Structure 1
Amino acid sequence: MTIKPARLSDPAVRAFVNAVNSHDREGFMALLEPGATMSDDGSDRDLAEWIDREIFSSNGHMDVESESDGGRAVLARYRNDTWGEMRTRWTFTVEDDGRISRFETGQA
């Protein structure tokens, strides 16, 4: 079962998934706070390098299966041209202005 992005509870997470799936790098970056950080499988990564490699240059795509924590945590099938498809978890820290200051992902 997949949750359509338009049905995701948190507006920032909804916009994040839409930007990933439409390969909208500019829109994606506009969702992030200046100095935003991220981690992959528990290790902090260089955000710009990671998103280029794992999302935008490799056709990343998220199919969200479930959400929790008011929509700020999701389980998704994530696929890209490098790794194929895997079940992943994503958690988001969203600031009062609605922008994401941190996201964490990893295999679920």
Structure 2
Amino acid sequence: MNPGKLSDPVVGALVSAVNAQDRDAFLAILTADATMSDDGTDRDLHDWIDREIFGSGGHMDVESESDGGRALLVSFRNDTWGEMRTAWRFTIAPGDGRISRFETGQA
């Protein structure tokens, strides 16, 4: 599924930033105090994205969406772990329009 066709344009922009390996664009989509979790454990956002996405060629192929585009089923791959099916959920900050939290984990 093309990121530009996702129901939530903010989530689509984040997927596009991941796939373009554009860390600055990715961070611009997040609130300054954004948080995240991986497999149910809160992680340091900057450390995690550098290790799992931008330092290892992370790429998201969206298989499906739900919850207005704020929940994705993704085939995620990077140079460290290879390819895996993952679920992603996004929280959009009210009034801000940016992502304040995302949660990911194996699906």
TM-score category, normalised to shorter length = over 0.9
Identity of aligned residues (%): 71
Secondary structure of 1:27's match?
Answer: helix
- 1:16 matched to 2:7: no
TM-score, scaled relative to structure 2: 0.97
Shift of 1:6: 1.1
Deviation digits for residues 48-106 of structure 1, max 9, x if unmatched?
00000000000000000000000000000000000000000000001132100000000
Give the secondary-structure state (helix, strand or coil) at the position aligned to 1:13.
helix
Question: 1:11, 1:44 → 2: CA distance?
Answer: 25
Alignment partners' CA distance in 2, 1:71 and 1:5: 10
Helix, strand or coil at the partner of 2:74:
strand
SS of 2:7's equivalent in the other structure is: coil
Unaligned ranges ≥5, structure 1: none
Secondary structure at the aligned position of 2:56 is classed as coil
Distance 1:5 1:106 in 2: 19
Q: Give 5+ residue unaligned stretches, structure 2.
A: none
Matches within 5 A, 1:1-108: 3-95=1-93, 96-108=95-107
Q: C-alpha separation between the residues in 2 aligned to 1:39 and 1:6?
A: 25
Q: Counterparts of 1:100 and 1:45 in 2: how far apart (Å)?
A: 16
Q: State the SS of the aligned residue for 1:50.
A: helix
TM-score (norm 1): 0.97
Q: Deviating runs (4+, > 6 A) in structure 1?
A: none
In structure 2, how many angstroms separate the alpha carbons of the residues matched to 1:27 and 1:101? 15
Paired with 2:68 and 2:33, the residues of 1 have a C-alpha distance of: 24
